Amino acid sequence: MYNLMTLLKNRFQRVYDRIHQAEQACNRNGQVQLLAVSKTKPASMVREAWHLGQKHFGESYLQEALGKINELNDLSDIHWHFIGPIQSNKTRDISTHFDWVHSVDRLKIAQRLNDQRPQELSPLNICLQVNISGEGTKSGISLSELPSLVQSIASLPNLKLRGLMAIPAPEADPDCQREPFRALANALHTLNDEFSLAMDTLSMGMTDDLESAIQEGSTMVRIGTALFGSRLSSQQEPQMDNNK
């Protein structure tokens, strides 16, 4: 346990250093939140990270996440974010056990999350997943279809529309990395103006491109590998959504 704690502590410190440096480079000190992506990693690791002060965790696979949420229900002030593809038959568990959902990309799913959100909980925080580079992932709504989806979802009472999320295609060159992030940031500002909204969240940036995302306005970076180590390749890809 001592070794895991030391390892995690060093990795968290390195990621915080990267975030702070990137923030400073564009005068955005303190504006970026770290979402620790714990998918495929055991509850014991999440617990250690929580003891280090990390309170927001991202999960992609519902069954795996529910096990961890249950096992860690003694931890106060822990916030769970669902970031994976959503099948309709999973919406009840997601709306009951999570605080945030980053991967909403169609109205039917949003309506179900809204209808199934328990009344005693505060509205579910929602980011819409946008397919910004057209090839990074099959999930996500296109930029052209985004305005009508925003308009429909903004009026659902049990959801709080917080912003946009994207997973661009992997790209090594920082200039190329920044393009889709800039497009997502522009979309957020345009939608806020057009519909008089106050969406405040740009969920963008992962282990290999967090600096580029922060430079273009990210407010939440979703980091897995740099914090918890690499994942087995068979577990890396989100499962196909058979229920579309």
Q: Which of 113, 127 has the CB closer to ligand PLP?
A: 127
Is residue 223 within the footprint of ligand PLP (CB under 6 A)?
A: yes
Q: What tokens does 188 get?
A: 């957020």
Which contacts of 154-157 are long-range, i.e. CB under 8 A and separated by 24 or more positions? Answer: 154/195, 154/197, 156/110, 156/111, 156/114, 157/114, 157/123
Among 39, 68, 112, 178, the residue binding ligand PLP under the rule CB under 6 A is 39
Q: How far apart are CA 106 and CA 176, in angstroms?
A: 28
- Containing 222, the helix (H) or strand (E) segment is strand 220-223
- Which of these, 225, 233, 173, 183, lies nearest to 204 by C-alpha position? 183
Is residue 206 within the footprint of ligand PLP (CB under 6 A)?
A: yes
Number of residues that bind ligand PLP (CB under 6 A): 12
Q: Which of 171, 208 has the CB closer to ligand PLP?
A: 208
Question: Which residues is 129 bridged to in the sheet?
Answer: 165
- Residue corresponding to tokens 């060093």: 10
Is residue 19 within the footprint of ligand PLP (CB under 6 A)?
A: no
Among 15, 19, 22, 37, the residue binding ligand PLP under the rule CB under 6 A is 37
Is residue 128 within the footprint of ligand PLP (CB under 6 A)?
A: no
Residues 40-79 that bind ligand PLP (CB under 6 A): 60
Give least dist CB 241 to ligand PLP, A: 13
Is residue 110 within the footprint of ligand PLP (CB under 6 A)?
A: no
Q: What tokens does 149 get?
A: 């989806």
Longest dimension (CA), the chain: 52
Q: Which of 66, 226 has the CB closer to ligand PLP?
A: 226
User: Which residues bind to ligand PLP, rule: CB under 6 A?
Assistant: 37, 39, 60, 83, 167, 206-208, 222-225
